[in-house]
Amino acid sequence: MTTSEQFAGRVAMVTGAGSGIGRASALAFAARGVAVGVCDVNAEGGKETVSLIESVGGKALFLHTDVASGDAVREAVDTIVASYGGLHFAHNNAGTFAMALTGELSEADFTRVLNVNLLGVFLCMRHQIPRMLEAGGGAIVNTASIWAHTGMPTQAAYVASKHGVAGLTKTAAIEYAAQGVRVNAVSPGYIETPMTAANPPDAVAAILSRQPIGRAGQPEEVAAAAAWLCSDEASLITGAVLNVDGGYLAH
């Protein structure tokens, strides 16, 4: 079966799809013939992603989704299933960060980051998995980070959340492997996105100096990895946290 054949007629949900990695992932699924539920709190960005997909003949709909709200996530999943007849793939990618030393990080900022990055991934899987079981199986990819494997000064909340994403991914993978739902994660290194553009130049330089490939990554490179993890070529892979980091974690 060709790649286009295995994706044809399938349905995906992508969070944080209004820009960056999420937009690239939504476009990658659509290019493979998948109908995409484009989820984001940024309506302008999300609708632009839908327009990009439709402009090349793909199918997509925008859903205003706060992943930290269980009701909002459930409504998005239900709408996708009602619109396209099922749910087979998901890329839970929505994320945020707060920059401060641990002793100076506010409780509000810590909670906000954990709610989006970790609770959000849990809520998405909580509502996606039953729908995938109804469809006879599926594949989920969560966005972790190189910071799911190590520490980073001034990023206590982000690092904690991404360690949690890796743990959630592995646990769900064990729980649902026998029922045909595979759950994996990607761990991007430094990727050029609107979110990473907010990092101080010296911090970016320090990260890039440790990426042996010698450059920043592009959103499309992470999206390609996510799409591959959902494909039949990755049928034996579940519970993996795949580094897409230009060799950063090989040190």
Domain boundaries of the chain, sorted by first residue: 3-244
Concerning whether 248 is annotated as a catalytic residue, the answer is no
**For 47-79, how does the pLDDT look when each residue is reduced to its tens digit (9 = 90+)?**
999 999 999 999 999 999 999 999 999 999 999
pLDDT of residue 249 exceeding 70 = yes
pLDDT of residue 143 exceeding 70 = yes
Q: Which CATH class is domain 3-244?
A: alpha beta
Rounded to 10°, the helix 107-114/156-176 angle is 30
Given pLDDT bands bounded at 50, 70 and 90, which one contains residue 124?
Answer: very high
**φ/ψ bin of 78: left (φ > 0), alpha (ψ from -120 to 50), beta (otherwise):** alpha
Task: Please state, rounded to an integer, the average pLDDT across all residues of the chain.
Answer: 96
pLDDT of residue 232 exceeding 70 = yes
Given pLDDT bands bounded at 50, 70 and 90, which one contains residue 209?
Answer: confident
pLDDT at site 3: 67
pLDDT at site 51: 98
pLDDT at site 141: 99
- Which entry of 158, 176, 190, 248 is annotated as an active-site residue? 158
pLDDT of residue 2 exceeding 70 = no
Between CA 155 and CA 138 the distance in angstroms is: 33
pLDDT of residue 187 exceeding 70 = yes
pTM of full prediction above 0.75: yes
Given pLDDT bands bounded at 50, 70 and 90, which one contains residue 1?
Answer: low
Given pLDDT bands bounded at 50, 70 and 90, which one contains residue 94?
Answer: very high
* Of 1-10, 59-68, 131-140, the least confident: 1-10
